[in-house]
Amino acid sequence: MNRQAGSARRPYVRPMTGWWRRDPFFVRYMVREVTAVIVALYAIVLMVGAIRLSQGEAAWNGWLEALRSPLSIVVHLVLLAGMIYHTVSWFEIMPKTMPMMFVGGKRIAATTITRVGLAVAALAALALFALAWGLRP
């Protein structure tokens, strides 16, 4: 391979501008990454609630009141959609992040890992919802 100066080679490097719009796969990846911010935003909403709780009953009730506003409901719907997308896309990539697992000498298929992850997430969400429902005043 000729790497010396004066070589006739003139390799052309293409720009990467707008790379993530080039393939639908990259767009889905970017949405997965962006929805991680949504997960963080919702954590902040909950954290504010915890802080308001520590400040006494009036502060706590004010936070609850703020959550009931139409704007807050719209924001929560957007956050919910983002959370669901993030959960699904994360469990889709999860088998790639794990060492090989064997049960009875057979390798567990990637689709099984994804399905188990999604089922556990759905059950946890349902259990939490049932708990919150049961504790209603």
Partner 1 sequence: MPEAAKTIEIEVLRYRPQQDSAPVLQSYLVPFTDDMSVLQGLQHIKDYVDGTLSFRWSCRMAICGSCGMMIDGKPKLACQTFLRDYFPHKLRVLALAHCPIEGDLVVAVDDIVAKLESIKPYIVAKEPRTLQQGEYLQTPAQLEQFEQFSSCINCMLCYAACPQYGLDSKFIGPGVLALLHRYNADSRDGARAERMQIVNAEEGVWSCTAVGYCSEVCPKHVDPANAVNQNKVNSAKDYFLRFVAPKGAAK
Which helix (H) or strand (E) segment is 100 a member of? none
Our finding on whether 21 is near partner 1 (CB under 8 A) is no
Q: Tell me, residue by residue from 28 to 57, as one string, x for binding to partner 1 by CB under 8 A and - for no binding.
A: -x---x------------------------
At closest approach, how far in Å is the CB of 100 from partner 1?
Answer: 7
Minimum distance of partner 1 from residue 84's CB (angstroms)? 19
Q: Is 136 a binder of partner 1 (CB under 8 A)?
A: no
Q: Cα–Cα distance between 135 and 49 in angstroms, integer?
A: 17
For residues 34 and 90, the answer to whether their CB atoms sit within 8 Å is: no
Q: Which is nearer to partner 1, 9 or 136 (CB)?
A: 9
- Does 12 interact with partner 1 (rule: CB under 8 A)? yes
State which residue, 11 or 137, has the beta carbon closest to partner 1: 11
Query: What CA–CA distance (Å, rounded) separates 12 from 15?
Result: 10
Closest approach of Cβ 8 to partner 1, in Å? 7
Q: Does 95 contact partner 1 by CB under 8 A?
A: yes
Please, what's the b/e burial string for 79-110 (b: 16 or more CB within 10 A of its CB; e: otherwise)? beebbebbbebbbbeebeeeeeeeeeeeeeee
